[in-house]
Every structure is written in structure tokens, then in C-alpha cells.
Amino acid sequence: MQRTLGTCYYPEHWPSEIWADDARRMVDAGLTWVRIGEFAWSRIEPQSGKLNWEWLDQAIDVLGQAGLQVVLGTPTATPPKWVLDKHPDMLAVDANGNPRKFGSRRHYCFSNAGYLDECRRIVTLLAERYGQNPFVAAWQTDNEYGCHDTVISYSNAARDAFRHWLRTEFHKPGGNAGDIDALNSAWGNVFWSMEYSDFDDIDLPNLTVTEPNPSHALAFRRFSSDQVVAFNRVQSDILRAHSTAPIAHNYMGRITEFDHYKVGADLDIASWDSYPLGFLEDRVGASPEHQRAYARQGDPDFQAFHHDLYRAVGRDRWWVMEQQPGPVNWAPYNPIPLPGMVRLWTWEAFAHGAEAVCYFRWRQSPFAQEQLHTGMLRPDSVDAPAIVEARQVSAELAAAPDVQPYRAPVALIFDYDADWAWAVQPHGQDLSYFGLIFDTYRALRRAGLSVDILPPDSDTFDDYSMILAPGMMHMSDTQKKALANSSAQVVIGPRSGARDSNMVIPTPMPPALPDLDVTVARVESLRPDMPIPLNGGGAVTGYFEEVEGTATATLQTEAGHAVLMNNDNVYYLAAWLDDPGMDRMVGLICQAAGVRTMSLPEGIRIRDTATERFWFNHSTIPIKTEVGELRPADVVRVSKE
């Protein structure tokens, strides 16, 4: 596989006179890809039905003639004002019942049929015009589904579609109508007299007096995710009918409100938008001390996690579609990256298997919302620092060996449905599925391990020495069996299998794993200031389960409660562990699995490919390692020979 670089470009923002020079400078910097078009609807179709393709024809031609390959975006994330005038009901509605207005982007409800018609129309026109264009080498659907909290809408359109969705979920055998009694029973609506006599009785679960039924809330989360999948599929079907170029979507970091695997199943490439400094400030969820220590470098695991996640979403084909090139404009604080970090982030993506890394954006915009988002060029077209580091990567890539597919020794299951279940019912303030998974992932990384992320419906595990499946609130019997029958060391829990498919506690009590005699008798959530110490170091933090059963207690609290129980290679973890506890658990399972671990210094991370081991220094100080001293932002590649 060839590794390539690219950038995001907005020809509509600049006089056509400078396009050719921009293209030349891109090629000179070693870029292969240029993504365009995804916000240009008002220039393509300034009025309803009045198409204006000439500028876009020309832009693609100029870029293509210069030797660049174009990624063409569908413009559906930014419908022009006239689209809203045609469909005044297309706006998403927030949890307070307020429609979210025109004037920025993503101002649409996924359930609005009128807007979906407009999307179908414009994407068809775009695909017809450029589906066979030799310079259009890939497509992008829409832009950052879910960004700005846009998956969930409490509109009337969403309400009606949700009712329809529920009828289908609870269909009567042999008929089309839904079975409302089945829903009432599955959700336990007898509780608090919430029983419905018809699907049209069911409202969206906002503005209730106290929390809604978690079954109701989870169903609405699943429905909302399915609306995104359906919306995207309309576009991917059209594009595929007109073009053989691969289709991507650019996902955004820590957006979990829809199932990326399901969207990804309709696409050829997964890509994501990687903003290490912005994310550390606004969504990693680290302590202020950690945020301070990595303020100019970004969290050392957050990007790696997403790289591994999107490798799974893209079934091994994945890109970074937008790479932070300098300070951004949207985080609470927006510092300048440490010199070298743009190069480090790029190489890190390649180490995790990326095909391409595209810098966002080519030239800093002097106007509108992102005018303080830096680019590869300054607003006055002078080189910004990012282009210098990109040129260095480009030169290094030319001298680097080709990448070979690589399978990591450890697999971690990431399940969007579980994230929604935790969000609906966290039990303890601030507990989240993403947090649990990321804490687990960080422990694996501290141990020097490369990790593969797996979707929840995986059933072939034989390539892995270790599989971790924490927090998967609902597990099918098939999943349980596949894991239990695996030859790997398998760690399940906490909260895994805790609910049936409708968010109800099953009987027999969880986790009900084959051949493992463990029962969760009671659960508790803990204040952050009341960790429960483990016998031998580390502690339970935040969440604890009282378990019973005859399985071996491999880890215990000081008071003697079992925390990790196993029967041979199948383990149940009955708690959320702090970092030292996680390290102990990982060490213990690795030992059983015969996987060698290291204890990496703070800020140092490694990642293996089939032929090389990459070493990265995410810290601001030089650090001695077994491959020598790494300067801040250093990237060291060591051949595995």
C-alpha cells in the first residue's frame, strides 16, 4: 500500500486566477489528494434548480491537470437558504423544542423527507456530471455526521419516523402493523402506567418530568442512528450507480451518536477528522494536569484510538481526511502545536495503517466561522509552518518501505449500541462507555501493545491472543458463545451482558456466560473520592459489581470481594479499575496469553506494522528508550528484521 498526503481546498473562496498556482504548490509540497466541494451548494445551485457547474468543472480540471486527484464532497451538510425556504420544517429540533436556525451548518433533521428529496436530487446531479470525470478519484458523502450534536432531533418528522420505526421493530408476525402489546411488554411500560394503546401514542423522550423509560430512550437512540445510516445510504447508492471511485465519509472524533460501522458498511473508505489539540481541550475528558502537560501535543492515545477504530469501520481502508495543521478556532483554548507535532501526527496515522493524510485546510480563510483555523498557507498565501512539516513527511515517505497489512495481538471490541445504553443509564455521574473503553485502551498502550478494534458482531477471534469486551451492555447469545469458544484470553465486563435487547435486566442474572459461574448480584456506583483498593495495588473506581459464583477470583479487593473472576481463559471483570488496576489486569491477562508487555515512559508510545516498529515521543522533554533518546515530537522507525 502506498501512503499519500493531501489537503482540503475551497476553490469557491478564491479567485480562479490563483487556482493553478495553488495546485502547483500542492504538488510541490508532495500532496496527492485535494478534497473539494463539500460546502459549495450555494455556488453550485444558487437558486432552486439553477445550476452553475462551470466554476467547478474548471476547478477540477485545473487541479487534475496539475497532477492532483480530487476527492469530491456532496454538499448536503450546508443546504442554502432557499432549501430551507422550500422546506421550513427541515430544521432539527433541540431537546427544549427549539428548531436550530439557519446561519451556520448541519441545519437539517435526518428524518425530514423534503430535505432528503433535495439531497437525492443534488447528489444525483453531481454524480451524473462527475461520475466519470478522470480527476475525481474518490467521493465524500456530506461532512462530519453528528458534529455539533446533530444526530438527535426532536422534530415532528423524527417523532413520526420513530413511530414507524417502532412498528417495524415490534411487528406482528405475519402482518405489517406493529404489536403495541409486545412493545409495552418488552419495555415494561406497566411500570408507572406508561402503557400505550397505539404506536401513535408514543412521543419522543424529551421534556419528561423525570427520566423516561430507558427502553424508550435507547430505542430512540437506535432509531436516530438508523436515520443517519439511511440518509447516507441514499447518497452512497447514487454515487455508486454513477462512479467506480471509492466513497468515503469523514467522521468526527468522539462522535458516538450513530453507528459508524453501519454507515461504513455502505462505504469503501472510512476517514476521520483529527484535531489532537482541539480534542484534548474539548472532548478527551482528561484531568487539567494532563491537559496542561499535553496542551501543545494532544493526548498520546486519543488519535491512536480513532485510527484503530476507523481501520475497523473501513475494513482496513481508512484515511485522515482532515489533519490539524496548527491552532484551531473552536476549542476553549487553541494553542500552537509543538514544532514537529504535525509530522508526528501524520506518521502516527501511517503507523496505524492510514492510506492518506489530508491537511485541513490549504489556506487559512480570512472570513467566516473558521477564520482563526490555521492552514498550510496563511491568509496572505505565505507558507505556514504546517506545509514545512508536510514537505518533510513527503520526503520521508518517498524513502520509506511500503506498508504490509498487520494484525495486532490484542483486540478490543467497540460497540456503539453499548455507548447509547450507558448514556441512557450511566448509573453514576460521568460514567460512560467511551470512557471505559478508552481507559482500557490506554492501559494496553502503556504496556506497549498494538491493538485492533473490532465491531460487536465479530465472530472470528482466532487471530488474537487476547480479546477485551468491557461494558457491552447487551450481548447476544451468539456473541457470548463466540467469545467463550475462542482460544484467546477473553475479558468480559464490567456491565457486559447486563441488559437484554430492550434494556431490561435478563434472567438468569448477568453476565450468564457459558462455562463461567459468575453472577452479578448487585451493582453500585462510587464517588470519585471513594476508590476501593485492590489487594496488591490499584483500585476500583467509579463502578463496582458484587459477584457470586465458583469461578476463580484472580483479583480481589482488600476486603476480599472478587474483582476479576475466570474459568481458564474466560474472565469476567466486575469493576471499573483505575490506571494502576488496569495495568495489573492487562499484565495478568498478557502473561496468560503469552503476550510480551513493556512499561512505556510517560509520553512514549509505540505502534507496530508488519515490518516496522514506530516510536513516538508525545512529551515536551527528551526521553531515553531502548531505541535511544527521543527528542520531543520525535518519530523513530525501527525495522523488525
Closest to 572 in 3D by CA, of 583, 564, 561: 564
C-alpha distances in Å from residue 572, one per residue of 214, 547, 576, 589: 25, 10, 12, 12
Q: Which residues pair with 171 in a beta bridge?
A: 178
- Among candidate residues 38, 118, 144, 355, the one labeled active-site is 144
* HEC per residue, 173-194: CCCCCECHHHHHHHHCCCHHHC
Q: Does 601 sit near its own copies (CB under 8 A)?
A: no
Phi-psi region of 411 (alpha: psi -120 to 50; beta: other; left: phi over 0): beta
| Contact between 425 and its own copies per CB under 8 A | yes
**Rounded Cα gap, residues 32 and 4, in angstroms:** 6
Q: 144 an active-site residue? A: yes
119 is in an annotated binding site: no
Neighbours of 459 (CB within 10 A): 12
Q: Which of 3, 43, 87, 495 binds Zn ion (CB under 5 A)?
A: 87
Residue 460 interacts with its own copies (CB under 8 A)?
Answer: no
- Active-site annotation holder among 38, 257, 281, 322: 322
Place of cell 510480551: 596
Residues 88-117 that bind Zn ion (CB under 5 A): 114
Residue 80 interacting partner from Zn ion, its own copies, none (CB closer than 5 to 8 Å by kind): its own copies
Q: Is 53 in the site for its own copies (CB under 8 A)?
A: no
Cα distance from N-terminal residue to C-terminal residue, the chain: 19
Q: Which does 432 bind (CB under 5 to 8 A by kind): its own copies, Zn ion, none?
A: none
Rounded-to-10 torsion of CA 596, 599, 602, 604: -30
165 has binding-site annotation: no
322 annotated active-site? yes
Q: Which three cell numbers stand for residue 219?
A: 430505542
CA distances from 310 to 118, 298, 378, 447 (A): 29, 19, 31, 22
Q: According to the binding rule CB under 8 A, does residue 579 interact with its own copies?
A: no
177 binds its own copies (CB under 8 A): no
Q: Which is nearer to Zn ion, 84 or 295 (CB)?
A: 84
Q: How far is the CB of 588 from Zn ion (least distance, A)?
A: 58
Q: Which of Zn ion, its own copies, none has residue 114 at its interface (CB below 5 to 8 Å by kind)? A: Zn ion
One residue of 176, 210, 460, 639 binding its own copies per CB under 8 A: 210
> Rounded distance, CA 134 to CA 155, Å?
41
Name the residue with the smallest CB distance to Zn ion: 114
DSSP reduced 3-state for 412: strand
Q: Which is nearer to its own copies, 135 or 544 (CB)?
A: 544
Q: Which of 568, 434, 578 is nearest to 513 (CA)?
A: 568
Q: Is 109 annotated as a binding residue?
A: yes
CB of 155 or CB of 465, closer to Zn ion: 155
The upper half-sphere exposure of residue 445, i.e. CA atoms within 13 Å in the direction of its Cβ, equals 26
Of 6-14, 16-24, 262-270, 489-497: span binding its own copies (CB under 8 A):
6-14
- Least separation, in Å, of the C-beta of 358 and its own copies? 19
Asked if 50 is part of the footprint of its own copies (rule: CB under 8 A), the reply reads no
The least CB distance from residue 42 to its own copies, in Å, is 4
Residue 112, all three cell numbers? 425530514
Q: Computed from CA positions of residues 608, 611, 617, 623, in that sequence, does the dihedral angle turn out positive or negative?
A: positive
Q: Which of the choices its own copies, Zn ion, none does residue 20 contact, using the CB cut-off of 5 to 8 A by kind? A: none
Question: Where does this chain touch Zn ion (CB under 5 A) — which range of 79-87, 160-168, 251-259, 513-521?
Answer: 79-87
Return the residues of window 526-545 that contact its own copies according to CB under 8 A. 526-527, 529-530, 544
- Interface residue with its own copies among 103, 174, 175, 405 (CB under 8 A) is 103
Minimum separation from the CB atom of position 324 to its own copies (A)? 13
Stretch that binds its own copies, among 144-152, 309-317, 344-352, 443-451 (CB under 8 A): 144-152
- List C-alpha distances in Å: 368 to 14, 365, 372, 525: 14, 8, 9, 45
Q: How far is the CB of 158 from Zn ion (least distance, A)?
A: 14
446 is in an annotated binding site: no
Complex with Zn ion: residue 87 or 129, whichever CB lies closer: 87
Cell output for 334: 487553541
Find the binder of its own copies among 2, 193, 287, 639 (CB under 8 A): 193
By CB under 8 A, residue 521 contacts its own copies: yes
Residue closer to Zn ion (CB basis): 38 or 118: 118
Nearest to 9, CA basis, from 30, 41, 33 = 33
207 φ, ψ (degrees, to nearest 5): 60, 20
Say if CB 360 and CB 374 are below 8 A apart.
no
- The string of DSSP letters for 28-49 reads HTT--EEEE-TT-HHHH-SBTT
Residue list for the binding site for Zn(2+):
109
Which residues are catalytic, by number?
144, 322
Which residues contact Zn ion by CB under 5 A?
87, 114
